[in-house]
Amino acid sequence: MAVASQVVQASGAGDQNLFTSIYPTLSQQLPREPMEWRRSYGRAPKMIHLESNFVQFKEELLPKEGNKALLTFPFLHIYWTECCDTEVYKATVKDDLTKWQNVLKAHSSVDWLIVVVENDAKKRNKTNILPRTSIVDKIRNDFCNKQSDRCVVLSDPLKDSSRTQESWNAFLTKLRTLLLMSFTKNLGKFEDDMRTLREKRTEPGWSFCDYFMVQEELAFVFEMLQQFEDALVQYDELDALFSQYVVNFGAGDGANWLTFFCQPVKSWNGLILRKPIDMEKRGLIQRQEATLLDLRSYLFSRQCTLLLFLQRPWEVAQRALELLHGCVQELKLLEFCRDWVSVQPGALDCWVFLSCLEVLQRIEGCCDRAQIDSNIAHTVGLWSYATEKLKSLGYLCGLVSEQGPNSEDLNRTVDLLAGLGAERPETANTAQSPYKKLKEALSSVEAFEKHYLDLSHATIEMYTSIGRIRSAKFVGKDLAEFYMKKKSPQKAEIYLQGALKNYLAEGWALPITHTRKQLAECQKHLGQIENYLQTSSLLASDRHLTGNEREYFCREILSFASQQADSPGHKIVLPMHSFAQLRDLHFTPSNAVVHVGGVLSVEITVCSQMPVPVHAEQIAISVHFSIEKNNYRKTAEWLTKHKTANGIVSFPAETSPFPTSQNSLPALELCEMFERSPSDNSLHTTGIICKNVHVLLRKQESGASLEAPSGAALEAGAHVLKCTAVTLEPGPNAITFRTQAKEPGTYTLRQLCASVGPVWFVLPHIYPLVQYDVYSQEPQLHVEPLADSLLAGIPQKVKFTVTTGHYTVKNGDSLQLSNVEAMLILGHEENRAVIYSNMREKASDAALRVQSSDKVTSISLPAAPAYHMIEFELEVLSLPSAPATGGESTVLGMTEPHGKHKDTQKGGHCMATMDHKVSIDCPWSIYSTVISLTFSMPFRTTHSLLSSGTRKYVQVCVQNLSELDFQLSDSHLVDTGDSTDLRLIPLNTESEQRIHSRQAVFFVWELKWTQEPPPSLHCRFSVGFSPASEERLSVSLKPYTYEFQVDNFLADSEPLRHQASPQIPRFLKSFIEI
């Protein structure tokens, strides 16, 4: 709990000589021991040291009914007596006590104490003295019937003994308790009365000034008791109450008493902070003659005094700034609403300027230089406000104009100085008092300039030292305006550039516009043509300006361009973003790929930022040409796969002409990169590429001005796309460029330029990256089956694709295919070839003529221009053959020179495959092209030898491994050996059999012989097959054959599970599994 000192007033009655003798000891001992002070409404208790101011008891000091004073009457009344004689007590003391208590009762005062002082010396001189307790008991019986504790005894107060010290301790404890109780009770009653008065504020006749005096009485009490925080709360409540009434008045809910503060302002001498209490202004408030400025000034002076007692000088600065801004707004509100307050122009500026300096000097008077320097953040606002008001006074009094003040300005200055009155005595001897500074600043142009520049530079330096750069630039902007008025644009430019740089970095739109207007005027006066044109282009596209203002700056650019057209000189290069913005780009063809000699169209959409149509002599796009090392990548196929489909490139729209943040950077754009070897297509390079590294690694110039000339150089090169005589209307404009590709490579669009006379608007980097490719392709032939796999034995379709590249196919050109014995190429009269452009657009079609001889098949190609494609389809047929095998066989028979057999795992079964290599002679090359076609045999065949007793059977299993269904017919098994007495009797049905995909069919023959059986059995199995679909085949198909050999078949045969009867087993007659 806080320990404080409280001074309480008490009255003394009775023996004054007695009190005078013990007063020194009493006043010394009373404040030594602290007491706990507990207040109502849950306020925190405090440990306090009580001090008391004792006055002689007088009836006129007692409070009367309705008296709101708290400081002028005593709280506790004490009667002192050392009477030890009964006769004296009855003759004089009792009557005196009775009168004393009657007076207290008449004034409803119940806080009293009777002190009986015992003196041993008097007891020795008196023989008829009653015991001490007899007098005390008598007094208690007469006056303290129910309050016996209100009568205390103090024994030999002037002696130095243990008994005396014990008596003093008991008395002081009692006195402290009664003093504290009386003070707390009276203080609580005063606060309740004050609240009651406050609650009556809505009643007619209520006076704020009367209430102000009552609550200030409470503040004075707390201040006297050194409770400065509680005293400050009282003034803060008065401040808030008055502010709320002013706000309500502005809303139409006015109070009658507020009219007392709406008198015309006749004095504006600023705040008075060097007096603890400004009695002059307090008297005005008490008499209800104060203006709003008087009330605010007095209220703040009291708050300032208490804050300085609390050692919070920096809060004084903060509150002062709020007060000054608030007073200005309140006076404007009262003047605007009722036109009651009359304020001379410039009066408030004088009052604010004087008040700012008064507060600053008051703070400097109670703080050392180190404290002031370390707390600039609290005081710089007052310096800035004083600078602003001095500038306003300078403009008002004609001290800023180039010609100086006129007679009207001088009269206005005299009136303002008259409102200051005479300088106050407390500052008369101060050399740099606020009064002297203002009077000197308004005395001449030179003096004003000196004071204004000193204040401005000091404010800028303080703002900069605490890191408030934006505020420093704002003051510098005002300083630049001052220099422009003084016809010194060279001094103004540096401040305007600094302010503009800061606003651009932080993204303040309206300050940017206003500063650019000032900068344009400055640059025009300095003759900085390039800078002025750049600023004008920015202002012409600024939508925060009116249409007339934008047109003015646009005409400035066009006027300069027309004047310089007849006398061409050096080009003036300006950034494009203020003139126009690139919105999107569209390639035709859409994949941005064109062959050598082809025509490419580039259409860009440019949004003009100018408010009027602008005729541009030329709009050009500079193009960078490059040839990649790995030219094999730049094929039509690769380019088609790696280009965008729609051919439209959109550019990010610039929503504002300034960055949103100083540290804002574009997002990282990454893409995959991999390179393959052209020989074997193996991967040999891979990585990640940053597409916008040139933007991310661009140096951020922190010191250079953002409004400096761009310095963008016009790229000079052989590759430029141009469009002349273009009129750009406000808003979007479509511009089309056309170019004929001449050299293969990659073309990157680097820079966009628009020329208006000698003025060139340049977009230095087109981003994101935009490229188109020109390729030169060799003719190619590509052959691929239309199905997933080719099946042997039945006609299969194969697609031929001829990419003409740079070759022009003429009438009579043909493809010469060398015939393969085991594969036929089938030609039909309905075969046609389709010709496509390189954009896959159908150009034409023509009949396809196929001629075959013993060794060569000739395919006549239709005429087609370069960089086109010819597509046609032909049927091929792989002929099955029958190689000899000794055991299980899954191989389709064919001769070795025409194909290679290999097993391919498919669906868990092995399919027999064969490769046919065909050599093709093309008209555009002296070398032959060799292609390979792989055929899969749809069937897998096995055989087995079965026995039933002495009878022998041959079983052949045919399994369909393909996805098609087939019809099997005409199954045969013949002995290819020389045996004449061996017969093969079929046990199969004669009808056709359907074999489904992934299913099998079994065939069985019985072996019979008349003589000795041969040592080995050589057999050929054949079966006719055709697709189960109803499509009619154009050629007849050869049967499927399977040859096998069985040695020692009598010993190797497998027995049947059931003993066979002499007759043919029934189940063998229909032994077919499907």
pLDDT score recorded for residue 413: 93
Give the bridge partners for 155, in sequence order: 118
Query: What is the average pLDDT score of the chain?
Result: 83
pLDDT score recorded for residue 122: 60
Q: Does residue 238 sit in the same domain as residue 298?
A: yes
User: What would the mean pLDDT of 474-485 be, rounded to a whole number?
Assistant: 94
Q: Does residue 50 sit in the same domain as residue 180?
A: yes
Res 850 pLDDT > 50: yes
pLDDT tens figures, 229-273: 999 999 999 999 999 988 888 777 777 788 888 888 888 999 999
Highest mean pLDDT of the ranges 2-16, 168-182, 269-283, 417-431: 269-283
Confidence band for 835, pLDDT divided at 50, 70 and 90: very high
- Written as one string, the DSSP assignment of 54-71 is EEE--GGGSPPTT---SS
Res 908 pLDDT > 60: no
User: What would the mean pLDDT of 322-326 be, rounded to a whole number?
Assistant: 94
Name the CA dihedral angle for 446, 449, 450, 452, rounded to a multiple of 10 degrees.
150
Distance CA 149, CA 339 (A): 65
Q: Does residue 232 sit in the same domain as residue 173?
A: no
Confidence band for 816, pLDDT divided at 50, 70 and 90: very high
> Which tokens go with 351?
């009052």
User: What would the mean pLDDT of 899-927 be, rounded to a whole number?
Assistant: 73
- Written as one string, the DSSP assignment of 784-816 is EESSSSEETTS-EEEEEEEE-TTPPB-TT-EEE
User: What would the mean pLDDT of 25-38 be, rounded to a whole number?
Assistant: 82
Confidence band for 113, pLDDT divided at 50, 70 and 90: confident
In a domain, 533, yes or no: no
Distances 270 to 341, 862, 937 between C-alpha atoms, Å: 18, 104, 112
pLDDT score recorded for residue 255: 78
Confidence band for 914, pLDDT divided at 50, 70 and 90: confident
pLDDT score recorded for residue 41: 72
pLDDT score recorded for residue 338: 58
Highest mean pLDDT of the ranges 390-399, 713-722, 1049-1058: 390-399
Worst-scoring range by mean pLDDT, 155-164, 180-189, 870-879, 1062-1071?
A: 1062-1071
Q: Does residue 170 sit in the same domain as residue 216?
A: no
Please state the domain count of the chain: 5
Q: Parallel, antiparallel, or unpaired for β 76-81 and 112-118?
A: parallel
Q: Does residue 596 sit in the same domain as residue 646?
A: yes
Q: Who wins on pLDDT, 1023 or 1012?
A: 1023
Residues 6 or more apart in contact with residue 1061 via CB below 8 angstroms: none
DSSP classification of residue 93: I
Q: Does residue 959 sit in the same domain as residue 930?
A: no
User: What would the mean pLDDT of 38-58 be, rounded to a whole number?
Assistant: 78
In 3-state terms, the chain is what percent helix, strand and coil (to 5)?
35, 30, 35
Residues 6 or more apart in contact with residue 1065 via CB below 8 angstroms: 948, 1056, 1058
CATH code, 50 = 3.40.50.300
- pLDDT above 70 covers a percentage of the chain that reads 85
Q: Does residue 296 sit in the same domain as residue 258?
A: yes
Confidence band for 904, pLDDT divided at 50, 70 and 90: very low
pLDDT score recorded for residue 639: 56
pLDDT score recorded for residue 429: 80
Distance CA 16, CA 19 (A): 5
User: What would the mean pLDDT of 300-304 be, rounded to a whole number?
Assistant: 95
pLDDT score recorded for residue 884: 45
pLDDT score recorded for residue 222: 86
Each as own residue / partner, the long-range contacts of residues 93-100 (CB below 8 Å, 24 or more positions apart, any chain) are: 94/142, 96/13, 96/14, 97/14, 97/139, 97/142, 97/143, 100/13, 100/14, 100/57
pLDDT score recorded for residue 645: 58
CATH code, 1020 = 2.60.40.10
pLDDT tens figures, 937-946: 888 899 998 8
Contact between 1006 and 985 under an 8 Å Cβ cutoff? The reply is yes
Q: Does residue 132 sit in the same domain as residue 238?
A: no
Residue with tokens 């025009």: 524
Res 703 pLDDT > 50: no
Res 893 pLDDT > 60: no
User: What would the mean pLDDT of 1064-1069 be, rounded to a whole number?
Assistant: 38
Res 877 pLDDT > 80: yes
Highest mean pLDDT of the ranges 422-436, 525-539, 587-601: 525-539
Confidence band for 425, pLDDT divided at 50, 70 and 90: confident
pLDDT score recorded for residue 240: 94
Q: Does residue 588 sit in the same domain as residue 722?
A: yes
Res 883 pLDDT > 50: no
Confidence band for 37, pLDDT divided at 50, 70 and 90: confident
pLDDT score recorded for residue 1030: 65
Q: Does residue 679 sit in the same domain as residue 793?
A: no
In a domain, 631, yes or no: yes
**Residue 390, phi-psi category: left (phi > 0), alpha (psi -120 to 50), beta (remainder):** alpha
In a domain, 483, yes or no: no
Q: Does residue 928 sit in the same domain as residue 950?
A: no
Worst-scoring range by mean pLDDT, 239-253, 314-328, 467-481, 600-614?
A: 239-253
In a domain, 481, yes or no: no
pLDDT score recorded for residue 15: 74
pLDDT score recorded for residue 640: 55
pLDDT score recorded for residue 1001: 92
Burial label, 318 (beta-carbon count in 10 A; 0-12, 13-18, 19+): middle
> Nearest-CA neighbor of 945 among 1000, 1039, 1019?
1019
Distance CA 69, CA 218 (A): 9
Res 477 pLDDT > 70: yes
pLDDT score recorded for residue 660: 44
User: What would the mean pLDDT of 91-100 be, rounded to a whole number?
Assistant: 86
In a domain, 518, yes or no: no
> Which tokens go with 932?
């390979």
pLDDT tens figures, 57-83: 877 777 776 566 676 778 788 888 888
Q: Who wins on pLDDT, 947 or 903?
A: 947
Amino acid at 95: D
pLDDT score recorded for residue 731: 94
pLDDT score recorded for residue 911: 75
Per the structure, the complete domain to which residue 749 belongs is given by: 575-699+709-762
Res 1053 pLDDT > 60: no
User: Domain boundary at 177, 196, 215, which?
Assistant: 196
Q: Who wins on pLDDT, 768 or 710?
A: 768
Worst-scoring range by mean pLDDT, 115-119, 133-137, 332-336, 500-504?
A: 133-137
Confidence band for 689, pLDDT divided at 50, 70 and 90: confident
In a domain, 558, yes or no: no
pLDDT score recorded for residue 62: 77
pLDDT tens figures, 352-378: 999 999 999 999 988 889 999 999 999
Confidence band for 763, pLDDT divided at 50, 70 and 90: very high
pLDDT score recorded for residue 2: 32
User: What would the mean pLDDT of 466-476 be, rounded to a whole number?
Assistant: 93
User: Domain boundary at 196, 219, 248, which?
Assistant: 196
pLDDT score recorded for residue 148: 76
> Which tokens go with 782?
């590509």
Res 1062 pLDDT > 80: no
Q: Does residue 736 sit in the same domain as residue 805?
A: no
In a domain, 396, yes or no: yes
Q: Who wins on pLDDT, 160 or 750?
A: 750
pLDDT score recorded for residue 716: 67
User: What would the mean pLDDT of 318-322 be, rounded to a whole number?
Assistant: 95
User: What would the mean pLDDT of 105-123 be, rounded to a whole number?
Assistant: 79
User: What would the mean pLDDT of 610-628 be, rounded to a whole number?
Assistant: 91
User: What would the mean pLDDT of 578-588 be, rounded to a whole number?
Assistant: 93
pLDDT score recorded for residue 4: 35
pLDDT tens figures, 189-214: 888 889 999 999 888 889 999 999 99
pLDDT score recorded for residue 238: 95
pLDDT tens figures, 720-741: 999 999 999 999 999 999 998 8
3-state secondary structure 603-628: EEEEEECCCCCEEEEEEEEEEEEECC
Confidence band for 710, pLDDT divided at 50, 70 and 90: low
Worst-scoring range by mean pLDDT, 158-172, 236-250, 591-605?
A: 158-172
User: What would the mean pLDDT of 858-886 be, rounded to a whole number?
Assistant: 81
> Nearest-CA neighbor of 272 among 229, 241, 303?
303
Give the bridge partners for 582, in sequence order: 606
In a domain, 100, yes or no: yes
**Dihedral sign (CA 588, 589, 593, 596):** negative
Q: Who wins on pLDDT, 980 or 386?
A: 386
Q: Is 80 helix (H, G, I), strand (E, B) or coil?
A: strand
User: Domain boundary at 196, 211, 242, which?
Assistant: 196
